[in-house]
Amino acid sequence: MTASTLHAPDAGVLAPSGSTLLAAVDSEWTKVRSVRSTMWSLLATVGIVLGLSALLCWAYVNRFDSMSIQDRFGFDPTLHSLRGVQLAQLATGVLGVLVIASEYSTGMIRTTFAAVPQRRTVLLSKALVFGAVTWVVGTIASLGGFLLGQAILSQKGVGVSLGDPGVLRAVLSGGIYLAAIGLLGFALGAILRRTAGAIAVLFGLVLVLPGLAQALPSPWNADISKYMPGQAGSAMLLVHPASDLLSPGTGLVVLVAWVVGLFAAALVLTHLRDA
């Protein structure tokens, strides 16, 4: 047996054919459609966004008459109706962890790798399917939360429309935000291969570290916290700039950098480690 023969499998892993990737994507799409917990989690994401958006907008309208002029002037109706996205990110992040870590915990990942030996192709196909589904569902939820929230805010004449400057961009960013956090959870699940550990790290990145950063001396507290994935994603939902957050465009770049960096680490570790 020659050296070239020995290295043939590695070449397939590094450069998977298009047909292999398409077959893997089709397989993952079948898994997503057939697993009830995935569908329920996605429906819960929509419910969280719609429910929280409606609740917060109703609360604002309810106390509108007693608010000061300053509070009314600083109000961002688009961001207020998208607050549900910031809570729903936890649902998509946890679902991202479960998509990959559950296969490791049950041992099903060995069957998956036996069917498609190119491990990077498997990971890429899972990420493509999960990211696309989460983006579509997240966009629908974001748009629904915005429309519902504006319908409530219009009772006091403070609503906005999708045609107003920056509004459509912010609403569409909600779907990107949810998909990115979901992929962040997916990458952590592939790296750690333990559901509880990956969820703990995800919550730490999104919720805990920004709070810890705020305890640092100024200006480090603001400079560090706004580069955390959750804070960067929140910046994407802004119509009006905020001094303690990045601009929407920079927030998108930072969030994508987090996803790409962790996913690259997941690809390398998945290729090097045993299943």
Tens digits of residue pLDDT in 179-220: 999 999 999 999 999 999 999 999 999 988 888 887 777 777
Tokens of 171: 């609403």
* Residues contacting 172, CB < 8 A, separation 6+: 139, 142
Confidence of residue 1 (pLDDT cuts 50, 70, 90): very low
Q: pLDDT tens for residues 64-74?
A: 888 888 777 77
Exposure on the CB side of residue 180, measured as CA atoms within 13 A: 28
Whether the per-residue pLDDT at 55 is higher than 80: the answer is yes
Which residue, 101, 109, 99, is CA-closest to 274?
A: 109
What is the tens place of the pLDDT at every residue in 16-29? 456 788 888 888 88
**What is the distance between the alpha carbons of residues 275 and 273, in angstroms, rounded to a whole number?**
6
> Measuring CA to CA, which residue among 253, 206, 252 is closest to residue 228?
206
First-to-final CA distance of the chain: 26
According to the model, what pLDDT value does residue 275 have?
Answer: 65
Helix 119-153 / helix 108-115 crossing angle, nearest 10 deg: 110
Mean pLDDT rounded to a whole number for the chain? 87
How deeply is 63 buried, as exposed, middle or buried, from its count of CB atoms within 10 A (0-12, 13-18, 19+)?
A: exposed
CA angle at 30 for the pair 29 and 35, rounded to the nearest 5°: 105
Distance, in Å, from the CA atom of 190 to the CA atom of 267, rounded to the nearest integer, reads 8
Residue that wins the pLDDT comparison between 254 and 29: 254
